[in-house]
A and B are shown apart, each in its own frame.
Chain A
Amino acid sequence: GAGVSQSPSNKVTEKGKDVELRCDPISGHTALYWYRQSLGQGLEFLIYFQGNSAPDKSGLPSDRFSAERTGGSVSTLTIQRTQQEDSAVYLCASSLTGGLPNTGELFFGEGSRLTVL
């Protein structure tokens, strides 16, 4: 489809294992965001990529979290040595940016639900 695609949709892992979550943004969108949504919680900003600029990593909760965006398109969020508190839905979003007007509209994927046992 033409929307933001995330995989896997569900991931169950054991504490201490590493996980990778993938995001395919909408073609042509230069901005890509990762958010975390814990059960009953709001959307917690993690990291933001804008074109070729250095990413804004200010929301990453610890050095176990990292993200890359290759070729300005696909992004991978990696969580090393997972902990139970990492259990959440990880949402990826993309937007078309640059110049005015800018609607600020983010298009979200359906998320990757991570469960750490």
Chain B
Amino acid sequence: GQQLNQSPQSMFIQEGEDVSMNCTSSSIFNTWLWYKQDPGEGPVLLIALYKAGELTSNGRLTAQFGITRKDSFLNISASIPSDVGIYFCAGQLWYGGATNKLIFGTGTLLAVQP
């Protein structure tokens, strides 16, 4: 299946630590997104990036759209227990007025120890 390469696969950290994860693709995208999935639920959008080089923050989350349009990273500062979950990157290539499908990364499992 079509997936993006995401790393690391998993992270086990202490509460208060910062976290960084990234995503790479062999194809370019003009939208990068980061989703979080809690156990037993569907993923929920955290941050969306629309321009190469763009750096966007949402509270303790910061994400960047790589200048080559083939990569993105997500940082979480001062982690807390509720940050636990699976984080997915997603790339989208849209044109005209319609969107194209989202291709998701392989996911990063984050565990935070209080």
Q: Which residues of A contact B (CB under 8 A)?
A: 4, 31, 33, 35-36, 41-46, 48, 50-51, 53, 56, 58-59, 61, 91, 93, 95, 97-111
Q: Are A111 and B98 in contact (CB under 8 A)?
A: no
Given A45-B104, A59-B1, A61-B1, decide whether A109 and B99 contact each other with a Cβ distance below 8 A: no
The reply to whether the CB of B107 lies closer than 8 angstroms to some CB of chain A is yes
A-B contact count (CB 8 A): 86
Q: Are A33 and B102 in contact (CB under 8 A)?
A: yes
The reply to whether the CB of B22 lies closer than 8 angstroms to some CB of chain A is no
State in angstroms the CA–CA spacing of A91 and B50 once bound together: 25
State in angstroms the CA–CA spacing of A109 and B37 once bound together: 11
Q: Which residues of B contact A (CB under 8 A)?
A: 1-3, 6, 31, 33, 35, 40-45, 48, 50, 88, 90, 92, 94, 97-107
State in angstroms the CA–CA spacing of A56 and B48 once bound together: 23
State in angstroms the CA–CA spacing of A42 and B42 once bound together: 12
State in angstroms the CA–CA spacing of A59 and B94 once bound together: 18
Closest to A48 in B: B101
